[in-house]
């Protein structure tokens, strides 16, 4: 039985003071209504100390939105795993489509970062997904399986520790959600690919989140699909009430 995982990707939103307020609101609301879903928030780097401090002692985990694969050195503007470790970060989103599109992340760099994240003891949340053009030209299967095979190559038994997020690019921030059937079809394809890479038993244990305009109104139906094990939430994660409503939809 896979434990559902709902993570909020705050993207480039919230100052440290605002982040502290939102984290406290989420913790207060969740504290009153415990549920078996694993809950994670991923604020911008600069907010991480305030948020890990605010959420210390709660059941809510904290993640970064990216990291570098090298342990330290001349990489201006980058952040290493040890820096995140020291402030209590336990998760890291890797290969988000915005990183792939605007910051040149590739399957190879995502793979290197995933290995470094696993070595640091983090749970990597590795994102894949096709663009609208790729979907309309019938390339979804090729694009997604190539991303999975490349981003998760050579992880050995550690592949079981990864969370995969399927985020169709055309559904991110557009209000256009994949239908539960569309999402389930790709989630099943991802699980089949994971089985080919790591065996059926391991594939059955790996959580696959859906992301892309997930909101309180559609979360329950999406998470009821057999291969959808939670959500990676953008816009709706920026307000405690909508984020909590999505968490509860998975309870
Ligand atoms: P939205 O929920 O705003 O569509 O964003 C999804 C996403 O990119 C989460 O990583």
pLDDT average, residue stretch 57-61: 94
Cβ-contact 113, 122 below 8 angstroms = no
What pLDDT does 34 receive?
65
What pLDDT does 136 receive?
94
Compute the distance from residue 138 Cα to the ligand 1 centre, in Å.
Answer: 23
Give yes or no for residue 215 having a pLDDT over 70.
Answer: yes
Catalytic residue among 68, 96, 130, 134: 96
Q: Could you tell me the residue range of the domain that residue 210 belongs to?
A: 5-249
Which residue's CA is the closest to the ligand 1 atom numbered 1? 234
Give yes or no for residue 25 having a pLDDT over 70.
Answer: yes
- Percent of the chain with pLDDT strictly greater than 90: 95
What pLDDT does 5 receive?
98
Q: What is the pLDDT of residues 69-119, one digit of tens each?
A: 999 999 999 999 999 999 999 999 999 999 999 999 999 999 999 999 999
Q: What is the maximum alpha-carbon separation in the chain?
A: 48
CATH number for 127: 3.20.20.70
Is residue 38 annotated as a catalytic residue, yes or no?
A: no
Q: Which atom of ligand 1 is nearest to the CA of 215?
A: 2
Closest CA to 65 of 26, 36, 102, 30: 102
Specify the number of domains making up the chain.
1
Residue to mutate, 101, 232, 237, 249, ligand 1, most ligand atoms under 8 Å from C-beta: 232
First-to-last C-alpha distance (Å) of the chain:
14
Is residue 68 annotated as a catalytic residue, yes or no?
A: no
Full-model pTM:
0.97
What pLDDT does 35 receive?
79
């Amino acid at each position: 039985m896979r434990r559902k995982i709902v993570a909020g990707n705050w993207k480039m939103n919230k100052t440290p003071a605002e982040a502290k307020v939102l984290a406290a609101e989420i913790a207060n609301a969740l504290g009153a209504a415990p549920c078996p879903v694993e809950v994670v928030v991923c604020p911008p780097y600069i907010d991480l100390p305030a948020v890990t401090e605010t959420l210390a002692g709660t059941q809510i985990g904290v993640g970064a939105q990216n990291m570098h694969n090298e342990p330290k050195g001349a990489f201006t503007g980058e952040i290493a795993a040890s820096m995140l470790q020291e402030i209590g970060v336990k998760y890291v989103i890797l290969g988000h489509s915005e990183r792939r599109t605007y910051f040149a992340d590739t399957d190879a760099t995502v793979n290197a970062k995933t290995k470094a994240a696993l070595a640091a003891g983090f749970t990597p949340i590795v994102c894949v997904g096709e663009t609208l053009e790729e979907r309309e030209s019938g390339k979804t299967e090729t694009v997604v399986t190539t991303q999975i095979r490349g981003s998760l190559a050579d992880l050995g038994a550690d592949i079981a520790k990864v969370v995969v997020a399927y985020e169709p690019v055309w559904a991110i921030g557009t209000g256009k959600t994949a239908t539960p059937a569309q999402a389930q079809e790709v989630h099943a394809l991802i699980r089949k690919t994971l089985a080919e890479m790591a065996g059926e038993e391991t594939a059955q244990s790996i959580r696959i989140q859906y992301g892309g305009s997930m909101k309180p109104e559609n979360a329950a139906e999406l998470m009821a699909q057999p291969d959808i094990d939670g959500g990676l939430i953008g816009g709706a994660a920026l307000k405690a009430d909508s984020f909590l409503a999505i968490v509860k939809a998975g309870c």
